[in-house]
Amino acid sequence: MQLVVFVLASIMVIAGAVGVIVRANPVHAALSLVLTLFGIAVHFVALEAHFLAAVQIIVYAGAILVLFLFVIMLLGVDKAEDLSIEPFPVQRPLAAVLGVGIAALVIAAVVRGRDRLGPVADPDAPGDENIRELARNLFSDHVFAFEFTSVLLIVAVAGTVMLTRKEKKGGES
């Protein structure tokens, strides 16, 4: 089973990396990068490095890639496409079927796994001490720097939007 997971995750990483290189549309290239980052997260899970997998998805696939897409859209590098023209007529029905299927899988997993949840672990129990120490350090000693960084990023995004906003003709903004 580990070999199958390794091979599938490696195929994801390689396909995503090739997609980043060969895609002409920058939005599609960024979405190929998501595939690469998710493949790396699967490798982390296979190595039982769950914290690194979570950081990989939350920080890189989530925050950094959203920032890339924001800049791509803000600069207008992507091509304007006519959404009324359907390049693949089967795409929307297939997306709806896949969405319903994924929702059904999530609901089935929650229903099946709800009786397997045990009591909450003792916070003083051994194991995962590195994660507890990291959380204690981040949210006690460095909480001001953590919060200041988030405020700084929000101000930077708002400033970028204000600086790149074009004024309408006639003096209205």
- Alpha-carbon span 76 to 44, nearest angstrom: 35
- Is-contact 31 73, C-beta < 8 A? no
Question: What confidence tens digit (pLDDT) does each residue in 108-147 have?
Answer: 888 887 776 666 666 666 666 777 777 788 778 877 887 7
pTM of the model: 0.52
Residue 9: pLDDT above 90?
Answer: yes
Q: Two tokens at 148?
A: 């200041």
Q: Two tokens at 77?
A: 């590098």
Domains and CATH numbers, the chain: 1-79 (1.20.120.1200)
Virtual torsion, Cα 124, 56, 111, 115, nearest 10 deg = -20
